[in-house]
Structure formats: structure tokens, C-alpha cells
Amino acid sequence: MKTHNKRAALATTLGLSVGLIASSQAATVLQSNDFGAGPDIGPALQQTTNSLGTGGSSDPSTGVITTGANNTSTYGFNSSGLVDVTSVAGATGFTVEWVVTGISQNVDAIQSNDMFFGVTGNASTSTTGVPNLFNNSGNAIGIKLDVINLQSSFFEVGGAQNAQMPAGLTTASMEDGFIISFTVNDDNTWSATSTGLETEINSSGTLAQTTYAGIASGLGAYTSVQGNSVIYTVDNVTITTVPEPSSAALLGFGGLALVLRRRK
């Protein structure tokens, strides 16, 4: 076989090896809830509410959340237990994804405390009775959809929103369903994206109110909405680790070139 053919074959083999080794560093699913379509992974979801208004409910078997007949009524899901990202070897962060089937009733009745999709460090169903439950859920972090101002924001603990996204949120796009996803890394950076909104979320930044180390060891999926008789349905939520890049992946083309030179 000619030398250049050997090099080509070796490059192909090494490239495949790098791909296989890199792909072996898979993300670990710590929590997954799809509301009856399959078995849960990790903690189950449970109803959380401020118990204001009548007729509200959150059904973990179907994913349907209905607020009570009161503008301050808030209902949602939180987790019955917490997951520890730091317990997974090689984890360098975590990704949270919420898939919402749609908002079937009263999207325009969502009040000032908005819709929230994220995680919290509180596995208790108890609240202090205030509308914005995420403010009372330790280490709440995630995405808020603001129907009144038609804007989204990355939200951190205690009501301090860290980053406003571009304006352009519409209730029509929310009604049809959407996906919210965000990643928090161990260097305290974050990134957030969406699919299905009129103006998609595509933003990143650095944590301002908390740290990765302060939240990663105990968090669970959390969503809620405040408003009068609002109904929305969650299809799926997952929390996965961000895996550490493998040594082969870090080798890259420079490493391949070095190996090829040594094998001439």
C-alpha cells in the first residue's frame, strides 16, 4: 500500500476512534418525567400551589396544570426529591429541558409573576402563600416568560432576574407549544435556548445571584404559572449532566497530525 494510502487509512481509523471514544462520554439523565408515557427516572413530580383561588390542580399523571379562579392563584410542579449533579463523575454542568404541549386556556390571563420553567433546591410542597412560588423555592433558577411585557428572562434565586432576553414574545406562539432549554456550567456560565416561540431565546451569561457549586448538589425540576384559570400541559422535562470532554475529543486534528507524522 502506498504511503499516502496508509496515511489516509490511519487518519480514518483514528478519526473513527476519536468519535467513538468521545461519544462514550455520554450525558447522564438524572431526572426525566413524561407524565405517563413511560417510567420516571429520578424523583417524581408533585403538585405545588399557593392554594389561592378555587378549581386549581396540577396532575402529575397527565402533565396538565390548571390555576384557580383568582388572579393570584399559582399552580405548578416541583420534584418530590432532589438530584446531585456533582455525584456524577466527570460532570461539568447540567442541562434542563421543558417541553410544553401548549396553553389551552386563558394565556392572556397570566399575571405579573409569569410562567417559570427551571429547577429549584426545594422538594417541599409547602409555600408561604405568595403568588410567585419560585421566590420561596430555594435556589430557583430558570426561564421566566413574561406575558404582560411580552419578554423572557433568565431568572435566579430570590427574584433577581439576571438577563432580559430580546422582546418579541407572543401569546399565540406560546399557545401552540414550545421547548425551553438551559445549561449551567461549573465555571458559573449559563446559556439558554428555545424552540417554538415567536422570538426565540438564544442567550448566555454568568450567574449573578448564585453559583454552580451552590446549586448543583441539590436540585429538582420546577414549573409554575400565576393567573386566573390558566391551563397548560407539560409533555416532558429532563435534567441531564454535561459530560467532561474525553481526552480523545481534546486530541483533535492537531493530535491526529502528530500521530501521522510519527508513523511515516
Q: Are strands 45-49 and 74-79 parallel, antiparallel or unpaired?
A: antiparallel
Could you give the CA distance from residue 223 to residue 75 in angstroms, rounded to a whole number?
8
Find out whether 120 and 78 touch, Cβ atoms under 8 Å. Answer: yes
Give, for all 264 residues of the chain, the pLDDT tens digit: 443 443 444 344 334 444 434 444 799 999 999 998 888 999 999 999 988 889 999 999 999 999 999 888 899 999 999 999 999 999 999 999 999 998 887 787 787 667 899 999 888 776 667 777 777 776 889 999 888 888 888 888 765 666 777 677 888 888 899 999 999 999 999 999 999 998 899 999 999 888 999 999 999 999 999 888 899 999 999 999 999 876 444 444 444 444 444 444
Burial track 244-258 (b if 16+ CB lie within 10 A, e otherwise): bebebbebeeeebee
The CA R_g of the chain, rounded to the nearest whole Å, is 22
Find out whether 225 and 75 touch, Cβ atoms under 8 Å. Answer: yes
Tell whether the torsion through CA atoms of 81, 84, 87 and 89 is positive or negative.
positive
Question: What angle do the packed helices 247-262 and 3-24 form, to 10 degrees?
Answer: 170
Find out whether 155 and 134 touch, Cβ atoms under 8 Å. Answer: yes
Cα–Cα distances in Å, from 172 out to 4, 46, 104, 177, 178?
59, 28, 11, 9, 11
Q: What's CA 162's distance to the chain center, in Å?
A: 16
Residue 78: what residue type?
Answer: N
- The one-character DSSP state at 133 is G
Q: What is the pLDDT of residue 13?
A: 38
Q: What is the pLDDT of residue 102?
A: 86
Residue 71: what residue type?
Answer: N
Q: What is the pLDDT of residue 189?
A: 96
Give the three-state DSSP class for 220. strand
